[in-house]
Structure 1
Amino acid sequence: MSTVQNEKEQAPAVDPQYLPAEEQIHGEPPKFGYRHPLFQVLLVSFICFTCPGMYNALSGLGGGGQIDATTADRGGMALNSTFAVMAFFGGSFVNKFGPRLSLTLGTIGYTLYVGSLLSYNINGDGKFNIGAGAILGVCAGILWTAQGVLMLAYSTEATKGRYIAVFWAIFNLGAVIGAAIPLGQNIHQTIDRAVPNTTYIAFIVLTAVGSGITLLLARPTTVRRTDGTLAVVPVSQSWQTEILNVLRTLVTDPAVLLLFPFFAASNLFYTWQFNAYNLALFNPRTRYLNNMLYWLAQIVGAGLMGLFLDSTGLARKKRAIGGWFILFAIIMAVWGGNYAVQKNYTRATIDAKTYVKEDFTQKAFGGHVVLYILNGITDACWQTYAYWVIGAMSNNARKIAVLVGMYKGIQSGTAAVGWHFDGVKAPYMNILGGTWGLLAGGLVIALPMIWIRVKDHTDVEDDTLGGLDAEGHKVDALPHHHQQPTATASVSSQEK
């Protein structure tokens, strides 16, 4: 008897995420309330509503609300460069710090960045903006990885599309409200000028509120998914192990590389949309109206794509392929429309002293604003589908953290290149062509990976880091006499 007891005491604890679903269920499905997974996703959504949402509202104005986009382009390059590095290894930081602390740290950079734009409005010195952009990139890399981990880890296989759509709708509602602020302040403004200081001050207050909301999040170990399973956040490991998990994913699951061009295209289009289209063609009040409608359209796009991806009438694999074809058709149609408009102007046209920017009272505005709305819908469909594919590849929060970090890192690295080309005044048509080519090419290259890896249910080997557990052991080597881990084996010390 003592021998059996000793064996039980020495048996290593197993993370519930590596157990079959039926063995993970330790309670009844939760009633809606503070610790319900959807409520926690709503809190995360409102954090992003106030921080990245406000940043998007400013970016969508073109040039961060300035007349000349040069300073904002440089800040954007600094931001996306550090974002790319931090986000690629963001899963390691989130697994080490825990998602709550990661979200708190991540929000601080947004307040600082908006403050740098206010400073530029006052003294005209762009150095602070570049430095703040670099700091925001570090913060955003951590925030977006933590956001993706909680959103996907708290949802079941049947609810991932809806949770993503809910998040994307609320997050973009922040950009809608943020866009409405300068619109209301400048509704009669038809002459180019930067947004007033009061706009930046309002955004500073809102981003600070977002930092406060992070303190309201529940400990992940107290949250159960709607099927009763524990939504466990991985145990904190050494920095070496955490970073090796990223490399292990690439080595043991090299097919993930096929998603890299798809990831790369996912933010590149903002350069053309915001600066080569909205800032270039329209006067201030029209630009602000376009910005608000763009982010409003994102709510519609995310909702429709999310509902389709969670449709119960089709198997998950068919939804994956159907979503791919829908996205490809939208990309080709919308960017074909963008090309048709772009043929009519160049940088030289816009810079000419005789050029008069378009107002929403003009006849041509109807077609132009519809095209911009469709661009917003396309963005939301792309992001929703990308998150859904990542969620379909694994239910394991540790692997999700790695994949989301890769997604945001590659996305931001390419976005930095886009802002650089605008900063050096590359021809608008070149920016459009490069963006459209990467969007179409990224989808085509990703299709084999999506076809092979998205199955009707996530396999056990896909729920680990390339067939290995977080410590590098094969899944079939895990002990069968599973033991319920303690709280310290399920969550980092910062999350206790």
Structure 2
Amino acid sequence: MGPEGKTLLNIIILGFGFMFMFTAFQTCGNIEQTVIKSFNSTEFHGSGYTSMAIIYGVFSASNLIAPSVVAVIGPQLSMFFSGLVYSGYIAMFIHPYTWSFYTASVVVGIAAAILWTAQGNLLTINSTDATIGRNSGIFWALLQFSLFFGNMYIYFAWHGHVHISDEDRQTVFISLTVISLVGSFLFFLIQKPDPEATPSEASESLLQTESTERASIVVAQLTDMCPLLTEKALQLSVTKEMLLLSISIAYTGLELTFYSGVYGTCIGAMTQFGEDAKSLIGLSGIFIGLGEILGGGVFGMLNKCNRFGRNPVVLLGLITHFVAFYLIFLNIASDAPIAPEEGTHLQAYITPSVEVALLCSFLLGLGDSCFNTQLLSIVGFMFREDSAPAFAVFKFVQSITAALAFFYSNYLLLHWQLLIMVVVGFLGTLSFLVAEWVVVSSRRDTDYDSI
């Protein structure tokens, strides 16, 4: 197998590893609040919303140390050990205790930062300028399929179950733990990329020695670079462009919380959906995945032929989400996010409809892909020379707002959560339009100066 074939195989293995891991973890996040409400034990008093708030809060802060860890132990081992931590968090639900639940939440937050830093590093060293787009697309597609398989398993496993028994919980989480471990061990199949040029036998030993020395230098440089990246990120965070985009980025954190944890809990709490309510959580996740994949594919390709700019796609995302929020407001009872284990008996504004609920799931995924594809595009364009610190700011803002949203989801009724997203989404879209106008204006000035 040639060098390019080996690197392509590495990317595919990387994608499958993440697909298995996040089939388990995203499914866990989608169902954990429902599972916790069904768990009767005097030893446990945890909240799935609080756990996710801790994870995202620690994740945002841990981005400062993640590059150093990856530089010291390498991306492959970084992903493997991080994967073991994810598996430990999932396994904890087999028999949860409050102390182990929240301790695992903190550790997973640290592991998440290391995992995604290592993923970016491994993707880069297995790609060239000509293949980075293709490889990113392959990885993204494989990752998004994680939304299908885990949620499909939940749909069939919980079909007709009004109450989630201890046996139901243990069966699901043992299965998810095994799936997550498979993903972690797949990372060991990733091979070291071959050098681009094929040296003679006489020079191979010298090349290996030089490579080792260069690797040591890179480790030292990456470690020394962390304070510089942090300082640069702080400088970028107060620029006019980043302040404008931060409102849009904050909105993606809020709606990430809603579609990944809150909405599934709401559907599972609707007694009007009958015996299928709990299994519909899995079906909702599948429809969210359909929206994400469709939007990511279509709007990702539109970035290549950016004739009309990014604004129409962002406006489409806002309209899509507003339609979804309005239908959810009408279709789901207001106390559904915080309802007890037996569910809510409050009446929504219309007769609750499973079809409308699943349509909203699809619209949530589609709208999320609209915002994220365009934000990634504009951040990469505006901060081309400082992409690493710029995306660090992106993840920091998104993670902090996601943590905040998971925290208030413990207390706020559904209509207040929807109102917060409507207000921040509207302001975020306006600020994005202004930021895009700044981009267009600077491009015109550049074109004019080049004449």
User: What TM-score results when the alignment is normalised by the length of structure 2?
Assistant: 0.76
Is the contact between residue 263 and residue 337 of structure 2 (CA under 8 Å) also seen in structure 1? no
The CA distance in 1 between the partners of 2:371 and 2:358, in whole Å, is 20
Match of 2:317 among 301, 326, 330: 330
The CA distance in 1 between the partners of 2:394 and 2:147, in whole Å, is 22
CA spacing shift, 1:62–1:115, aligned 2, 3 Å: closer
Equivalent runs, 1:183-262 vs 2, <5 Å:
183-191=155-163, 195-219=168-192, 222=195, 235-236=218-219, 237=221, 239-251=223-235, 254=239, 255-262=241-248
Aligned to 2:52: 76
Aligned to 2:405: 418
Equivalent runs, 1:257-268 vs 2, <5 Å:
257-268=243-254
Is the contact between residue 80 and residue 137 of structure 1 (CA under 8 Å) also seen in structure 2? yes
State yes or no: 1:403 paired with 2:390: yes
The CA distance in 1 between the partners of 2:310 and 2:124, in whole Å, is 18
Match of 1:60 among 30, 36, 48: 30
Q: CA deviation at 1:348?
A: 7.7
Q: CA deviation at 1:329?
A: 1.8
The CA distance in 2 between the partners of 1:340 and 1:196, in whole Å, is 31
The CA distance in 2 between the partners of 1:240 and 1:35, in whole Å, is 28
Aligned to 1:302: 296
Is the contact between residue 188 and residue 285 of structure 1 (CA under 8 Å) also seen in structure 2? yes
Is the contact between residue 49 and residue 170 of structure 1 (CA under 8 Å) also seen in structure 2? yes
Aligned to 2:281: 287
User: What TM-score results when the alignment is normalised by the length of structure 1?
Assistant: 0.70
Aligned to 1:370: 359
Aligned to 1:138: 110
CA spacing shift, 1:173–1:251, aligned 2, 3 Å: same
Is the contact between residue 79 and residue 187 of structure 2 (CA under 8 Å) also seen in structure 1? yes
Aligned to 2:20: 50
The CA distance in 2 between the partners of 1:58 and 1:438, in whole Å, is 28
Is the contact between residue 78 and residue 118 of structure 2 (CA under 8 Å) also seen in structure 1? yes
Equivalenced residue count is: 402
Aligned to 2:209: none
Is the contact between residue 3 and residue 196 of structure 2 (CA under 8 Å) also seen in structure 1? no
CA spacing shift, 1:349–1:46, aligned 2, 3 Å: closer
Q: Which amino acid aligns with 2:335?
A: R
Is the contact between residue 31 and residue 264 of structure 2 (CA under 8 Å) also seen in structure 1? yes
Q: CA deviation at 1:34?
A: 1.3
Aligned to 1:342: 329
The CA distance in 1 between the partners of 2:329 and 2:108, in whole Å, is 32
Q: CA deviation at 1:111?
A: 0.6
CA spacing shift, 1:246–1:276, aligned 2, 3 Å: closer
Structure 2 unaligned runs (5+)?
40-45, 198-213, 269-276, 447-451
> Cα deviations across residues 141-200 of structure 1 (Å, max 9, x unaligned)?
121233345546766777766544432321121231111222222223244657521111
CA spacing shift, 1:96–1:149, aligned 2, 3 Å: same
Q: CA deviation at 1:55?
A: 1.3
Aligned to 2:271: none
Higher share in helix: 2
* Higher RCO (Cα < 8 Å, 6 or more apart): 1
State yes or no: 1:428 paired with 2:401: no
The CA distance in 2 between the partners of 1:273 and 1:305, in whole Å, is 20
The CA distance in 1 between the partners of 2:187 and 2:356, in whole Å, is 41
Is the contact between residue 164 and residue 306 of structure 1 (CA under 8 Å) also seen in structure 2? no
Q: CA deviation at 1:139?
A: 0.5
Is the contact between residue 11 and residue 139 of structure 2 (CA under 8 Å) also seen in structure 1? yes
Equivalent runs, 1:355-366 vs 2, <5 Å:
355=344, 364-366=353-355
Q: Which amino acid aligns with 2:232?
A: R
Is the contact between residue 179 and residue 292 of structure 1 (CA under 8 Å) also seen in structure 2? yes
Is the contact between residue 173 and residue 296 of structure 1 (CA under 8 Å) also seen in structure 2? no
The CA distance in 2 between the partners of 1:294 and 1:164, in whole Å, is 21
CA spacing shift, 1:272–1:256, aligned 2, 3 Å: closer
CA spacing shift, 1:97–1:350, aligned 2, 3 Å: closer
Equivalent runs, 1:114-129 vs 2, <5 Å:
114-120=90-96, 125-129=97-101
Aligned to 1:467: none
Is the contact between residue 83 and residue 141 of structure 1 (CA under 8 Å) also seen in structure 2? yes
The CA distance in 2 between the partners of 1:199 and 1:348, in whole Å, is 23
Quote the RMSD (CA, aligned, Å): 3.7
Is the contact between residue 155 and residue 282 of structure 2 (CA under 8 Å) also seen in structure 1? yes
Aligned to 1:462: none
Aligned to 1:166: 138
Q: Which amino acid aligns with 1:245?
A: L
Q: CA deviation at 1:68?
A: 5.9
CA spacing shift, 1:428–1:299, aligned 2, 3 Å: same
